[in-house]
Amino acid sequence: MGNVNNVVIGRIGEEAAAGMLEAEGYRILERNYMSPEGEIDIIAEKDADIVFIEVKARRGILYGRPCEAVSARKRRRLKSAAVCYLRERTPGERIYGRMRFDVVEVVVNHIMDAF
């Protein structure tokens, strides 16, 4: 599962990404959707398109950009999870214009202590 610091960075990244997406006019449909194929961090809708979003957060770019951590295996799992979502959540009731997969990168420079 990674160490606690990585979990905290991940949560901060997902919160920041969701806020940015909403500010850009996206409607968040679901967060942390789990399927047998894996997890999708954020599923959103904008302009009749459905967008499956992987959020990658890092403390810096010393070891590469966050999006570089999305491997071919992860992309395949995201696609399979998206199919599960569409079958489960939209059985003929909603037609989307396009389906898109995005990666939102978040680089956290500093985390302030909560206490």
Domains annotated on the chain, with CATH:
4-107 (3.40.1350.10)
pLDDT at 1: 45
Q: pLDDT > 70: what percent of the chain?
A: 85
Give the residues across from 40 on adjacent strands.
Answer: 33
17-39 pLDDT tens trace? 999 999 999 999 999 999 999 99
pTM of the model: 0.82
Sequence letter at residue 46: K
Phi, psi angle pair for 47, to nearest 5°: 50, 45
* pLDDT-derived band at 82, boundaries 50, 70, 90: very high
The bridge status of strand 49-58 relative to strand 27-35 is: unpaired
Sequence letter at residue 21: L
The answer to whether the beta carbons of residues 52 and 43 sit under 8 Å apart is yes
